[in-house]
Structure 1
Amino acid sequence: MTDFLLSLLKWFLITPALFCIVGTVCSFIKYEAWWVRGFDFPRIQMLVLILFSACLVYFFNEYPIVRYVLWASLFIALCFHCWVIFPYSPIASKNVKNAENVTEKTLKVSILVSNVLMYNRETNKLKVLIERENPDIVFMVETDHWWADQMEYLKKEYPYHLLKPIDNTYGLLFYSKKEPTKLNFNYYVQDDVPSIVATFKLDKNSEETFDFYGIHPRPPAPKEAKTSIPRDAELVMVGKEIEKKDNPTIVAGDFNDVAWSHTSRLFRRLGNLLDPRIGRGMYSTFHADYAILRWPLDHVFHSDEFQIIEIKKLEHVGSDHFPIFINLAYIPQEKHTQEEPEVEKDDEEEAKKKLEKAHLDDTSSL
């Protein structure tokens, strides 16, 4: 009996290794089930677990060939995860240049994005950050009517606003100092999940404008959506809408997706958008309370007319997300001097399939 239990324990030692291998394989599968897409998120966590699993496999001596196969598989998985997250390390090449020679005459736009957590009641922390950073645009998601009442004071300093408080965790509050020429809601996929679609003047004394999209798609999670289809479809629709325009563009919000996922990269290629975190860091915004379970869910992507003045993850505001702040300089004369995402030949076909799965077509949002 003792030998049996010892043998069983040794087989148990390889369970974490099998989990890592299966999770890595799931990264290559374009299946939309929430539990499959969930493996897109924890890349750093998988790296740590792979190293731990490799140590456990050392003690598995029942079948040496199994041990060596597991080690080889774990090494391949380790290389893959390193390859995925390497662009988000400070030693990688920057996707967006640092803006140089910025003066008072340089056209700029600063944005603060915050998923406030609808049940969070610590408004003062966020109010302090808004006052300190003084952004041109404040975009809050997961806001209900209580949050709208608490932020009523912002209307004095932010004369242009669009508010959609909803008690389903998909409410939006949008405030801007910049004058809009268009400021609307859009419901790309589901009629209870709004998005912001707007066009703003970069400066009151300038005719230059930029498009802004503020989104918070439904995540693939057991209590939200059993698949990633609604989220993927919304990202594809926004990307294709941007593709048809030729205006400077910024897309911000809680994407409920990591920047390195297949869908996020497809979205960037469709919209020809840059990721300012590449070469600078992950700026992981979720989960604010658990460092071991943290990855970047809140994003700001933009077209190549913009360069970075500043980007930073802000302090804890009582939510499960950290806010993120970005300040961009508008430098159109250097357009096409930054590394734009390369369009792949099957992108349009894949986008079409994602919309078909959501029972949408290419023009339903336009």
Structure 2
Amino acid sequence: MLRIAATVLFWLLSLAIATVLTASLLPFVDTRWWLVRLLDFPHLQFGIVTLALLLLLPCFSRHRPRAVLALAAAAVVALGADALVLWPYRPSAHLATASDACPADRRLAVMISNVLLTNRQSQTLLDEVRAERPDLFLAMEVDDWWDRTLQPLSADMPYGATKVTGSYYGMRLFSRLPLSDTDVRFLAGRDTPSIVTTVKLRDGEDATFLGIHPRPPLVGQSALPRDAELYAAAQILRGHEGPAVMAGDLNATPWEDAVQRTRRIAGRVSPRQGHGYVYSFDAKSWWAKWPFDQIDYKPGFTALSLDRLAPIGSDHYPYVVRLCRDPFVTAPAAVPEGEDDRERVDEADRAARAAAGSAAR
């Protein structure tokens, strides 16, 4: 009986290692299929599971040494794939910048929060915003109720923009700093608004801010419409000289191919590269902990800190990044788009507009 139980456990362990190996490697496949792209999210979770399975293998090494060696090799490959993806998003002490070294007139604090349309714990969020005192605060999934409830923040942040859609994609921007040329845009033919505006920094310099919340790839759908929205936002930032910030719930992780391509196109930097993984979703799950909420910037800004705040009743945590502007550092010239980047952007744009046309009919 013990021999049978051991055999069953060994085959279950083998199946588990084969599964995590497949799941860890599939995201490297060049496809927009929703299932493969969703596997981009849990690389950290895959790595933890793989490590646990690897530690169990010595229990079977006495009776199945060759099989255990093969399984160990497979587990190491899976672990290496996950580590390769996550390595750039580890904390790096040498990139830390002393907050007190940045003059007050060169600081910019940006806070974002996907409030969750059905959430009604508004006072918790209001208290968080007042405690953090951000210069810019972007709230997403805002409906008429949230729009009215957040209105008291206008006393300290009188500038802003609002677009309530009646869906999960309404948003409102509050600003302590003067704004100009504010525009609500629907990128890539989709019904999800984005806010583009110019922020007057404390030292008098203008900076571009773009708030975005694309739809996630859903079951049975391609990720291309989401990607097209990200690429359209990147093209906007590419066309603006000077400092710029892009913020929002991207429904994508920083290491996804589409997100990395938008960074190349726009010349953006992720503060998580140096400050760590810092998950912002899912506040209601013990295992699904992914960095969906992102605040990226063009070089010339430096991230002083990034923090996940206390839960507010939403499935997302509020997220705040504090930046320092170095007026003597300008963003490098935009890197010419490679043929592959251009083809991907065009393909995604066609897919997004086709989807929007089908929805309209």
TM class by shorter chain equals 0.7 to 0.9
Q: What residue in structure 1 maps to residue 261 of structure 2?
A: 266
Give the SS at the match of 1:316.
Answer: coil
Which amino acid is 1:350 matched to?
A: R
Mapped to 1, the partners of 2:328 and 2:32 lie a distance apart of 41
1:111 deviation in Å? 1.4
Q: What residue in structure 2 maps to residue 161 of structure 1?
A: 160
Q: 1:266-301 CA distances to partner (integer Å, 9 max, x unpaired)?
A: 111111011112111111111112242201110000
Alignment of 1:351 onto 2:345: yes
Q: TM-score, normalised to structure 2's length? A: 0.88
Which amino acid is 1:354 matched to?
A: A
Which amino acid is 1:333 matched to?
A: F
Q: What residue in structure 1 maps to residue 73 of structure 2?
A: 72
Mapped to 2, the partners of 1:5 and 1:134 lie a distance apart of 59
Deviates most, 307-316 or 38-47: 307-316
Contact 1:92 1:278 in 2 (8 A): no
Give the SS at the match of 1:178.
Answer: coil
Mapped to 2, the partners of 1:201 and 1:179 lie a distance apart of 5
Q: What residue in structure 1 maps to residue 91 of structure 2?
A: 90
1:304 pairs with one of 287, 299, 302: 299
Distance 1:57 1:268, change over 3 A: same
Which amino acid is 1:11 matched to?
A: W
1:58 deviation in Å? 5.2
Distance 1:254 1:98, change over 3 A: farther
1:239 pairs with one of 228, 234, 240: 234
* Aligned sequence identity (%): 28
Q: What residue in structure 1 maps to residue 137 of structure 2?
A: 138
1:341 deviation in Å? 9.2
Mapped to 2, the partners of 1:134 and 1:7 lie a distance apart of 59
Distance 1:354 1:70, change over 3 A: farther
Mapped to 2, the partners of 1:60 and 1:201 lie a distance apart of 64
Contact 1:16 1:49 in 2 (8 A): no
1:164 deviation in Å? 1.7
Which amino acid is 1:310 matched to?
A: S
1:218 pairs with one of 203, 215, 220: 215
Contact 2:21 2:77 in 1 (8 A): no
Contact 1:99 1:307 in 2 (8 A): no
Instruction: Within 5 Å, give how 1:192-231 maps onto structure 2.
Output: 192-203=191-202, 206=204, 208-222=205-219, 226-231=221-226
Mapped to 2, the partners of 1:343 and 1:188 lie a distance apart of 20
1:72 deviation in Å? 1.4
Instruction: Within 5 Å, give how 1:280-291 maps onto structure 2.
Output: 280-291=275-286
Mapped to 1, the partners of 2:291 and 2:194 lie a distance apart of 20
Mapped to 1, the partners of 2:6 and 2:309 lie a distance apart of 50
Distance 1:186 1:59, change over 3 A: same
Contact 1:13 1:60 in 2 (8 A): no
1:134 deviation in Å? 1.2
1:264 deviation in Å? 1.1
Distance 1:235 1:98, change over 3 A: farther
1:359 deviation in Å? 4.0
Which amino acid is 2:46 matched to?
A: M
Mapped to 1, the partners of 2:69 and 2:6 lie a distance apart of 20
Which amino acid is 2:262 matched to?
A: F
Distance 1:58 1:309, change over 3 A: closer
1:227 deviation in Å? 2.3
Which amino acid is 1:358 matched to?
A: A
The size of the alignment, in residue pairs, is 352
Contact 2:267 2:331 in 1 (8 A): no
Mapped to 2, the partners of 1:191 and 1:342 lie a distance apart of 26
**Which protein has the bigger helix share?**
2
Give the SS at the match of 1:300.
Answer: strand
Deviates most, 80-89 or 65-74: 65-74
1:254 deviation in Å? 0.4
Where does the alignment leave 5 or more consecutive residues of structure 1 unmatched? 361-366
Distance 1:230 1:97, change over 3 A: farther
Which amino acid is 1:258 matched to?
A: T
Distance 1:7 1:341, change over 3 A: farther
Q: What residue in structure 2 maps to residue 363 of structure 1?
A: none
Mapped to 1, the partners of 2:51 and 2:304 lie a distance apart of 37
Mapped to 1, the partners of 2:150 and 2:349 lie a distance apart of 36
Mapped to 1, the partners of 2:350 and 2:323 lie a distance apart of 36
Give the SS at the match of 2:273.
Answer: coil
Mapped to 2, the partners of 1:47 and 1:76 lie a distance apart of 11
1:50 deviation in Å? 0.8
Contact 1:87 1:93 in 2 (8 A): no
Distance 1:293 1:137, change over 3 A: same
Instruction: Within 5 Å, give how 1:5-20 maps onto structure 2.
Output: 10-20=10-20
Distance 1:270 1:71, change over 3 A: same
Mapped to 2, the partners of 1:12 and 1:341 lie a distance apart of 49
Contact 2:207 2:242 in 1 (8 A): yes
Q: What residue in structure 2 maps to residue 127 of structure 1?
A: 126
